Amino acid sequence: MERMIQFPNWKYFILMQNHDVIGKSVYEISRIFEIFGGANDVDIAKGNIVERFRWDLESLDLFRDVRELRIVKGSVQGSLSREAVDWIVNQVNPMVFLADGIKEWTKWSDESECESGFVRHSVCVIGIEEFSNIARMPNIMFNKMMPSFDNSVIECTAELLYNRTFLGQDDYPLEEEYYSNMINVRCLQPSEHQ
pLDDT tens digits for 116-126?
888 888 888 99
Average pLDDT over residues 18-34: 88
* More confident: 147 or 14: 147
Q: Which neighbouring-strand residues pair with 105? A: 142
- For the ranges 34-48, 51-65, 132-146, the maximum mean pLDDT occurs at 132-146
In a domain, 176, yes or no: yes
pLDDT at res. 85: 81
Residue 164: band (very low, low, confident or very high) from pLDDT cuts 50, 70, 90 = very high
Q: Which residues of 70-94 are buried (b: 16+ CB within 10 A; e: fewer)?
A: eeeeebebbbbbbebbeebbeeeee
In a domain, 191, yes or no: no
In a domain, 87, yes or no: yes
* More confident: 129 or 77: 129
- Specify the DSSP class assigned to residue 140: S
Digit-coded pLDDT (tens) for 47-86: 555 566 666 666 666 565 656 656 555 555 677 788 888 8
Say how far apart CA 73 and CA 71 lie, in whole Å: 7
In a domain, 192, yes or no: no
Residue 134: band (very low, low, confident or very high) from pLDDT cuts 50, 70, 90 = confident
Q: Which domain holds residue 75?
A: 4-186
In a domain, 105, yes or no: yes
Say how far apart CA 6 and CA 2 lie, in whole Å: 8
* More confident: 167 or 104: 167
In a domain, 90, yes or no: yes
In a domain, 194, yes or no: no
In a domain, 193, yes or no: no
Task: Count the helices and strands in the chain (H runs, E runs).
Answer: 7, 8
3-state SS class at 133: helix
Given a cut of 90, whether residue 17 has pLDDT beyond it is: no
What is the identity of the amino acid at 170? D
What is the identity of the amino acid at 29? I
Q: What's the total number of domains in the chain?
A: 1
